[in-house]
Amino acid sequence: MKLAMHRKAPQLVLNATTAAELMTANPVSIDEDATVSAAVALFTNKRFGVAPVINKAGRPVGVLSASDILIHDRENVNYVPIAETSRLATPEGEALGPGYLVENVDTSRVADLMTPGIFAVTPETPCANLIAEFLRLKVHHLFVVDGARTLVGVISSLDILRRLEA
């Protein structure tokens, strides 16, 4: 019987030295005053799970995740009272019968749902520090800001994995 020879796996090396080399520049963000409906459209169209929330000055003020939207939706579903729906009709004039529920339009803003604050680094942050921050904070995204605290990029844990080479 032959014993299996275990070869040492090649050491992985991160092919980057700073946040600037890893980040996705000019990330898609959402305004803090945008509606929840706009956030849902953004997440659906772009297939995002998270987006930085910015203020009018372009500075990040929070993070919105798909989970934030789901929790909000679950906790805030609001329907038109059944008595009022009996007077509603389709665009063709057909009356809504019993059993129909009509949802009120959610007027909540992104700022109402987001997690306030962000975890940010500068473009010059060394990769070793980035990895330490990902692990310490237990997050999947770090946002990159310039000297004026304006959002200039985003780094995901997948961005790091993509740059590993044997």
Tens digit of pLDDT for each residue in 83-127?
A: 555 567 777 888 776 666 666 677 899 999 999 989 999 999 999
Residues whose CB is less than 8 angstroms from the CB of residue 153 and which lie 6 or more positions away in sequence, other chains included: 19, 20, 23, 24, 25, 26, 27, 123, 143, 144
User: Confidence class of residue 33 from pLDDT cuts 50, 70 and 90?
Assistant: very high
Angle among Cα 57, 62, 66 to the nearest 5 degrees reads 125
Name the β-bridge partners of 109: 35
CA–CA separation, 115 vs 130, rounded Å? 21
The pLDDT tens digits of the residues spanning 132-161 come to 999 999 999 999 999 999 999 999 999 999
pLDDT recorded at residue 152: 95
pLDDT recorded at residue 94: 80
Max CA-CA distance within the chain?
82
Instruction: Reply yes or no on domain 15-165 having CATH 3.10.580.10.
Output: yes
CB 119 within 8 A of CB 50: no
Tokens of 30: 């959402």
Model-wide pTM > 0.85: no
User: Confidence class of residue 77 from pLDDT cuts 50, 70 and 90?
Assistant: low
User: Confidence class of residue 81 from pLDDT cuts 50, 70 and 90?
Assistant: low
CA-to-CA dists, residue 85 to 76, 81, 95, angstroms: 19, 7, 9
pLDDT recorded at residue 113: 93
**CA 138 from chain center: how many Å?**
15
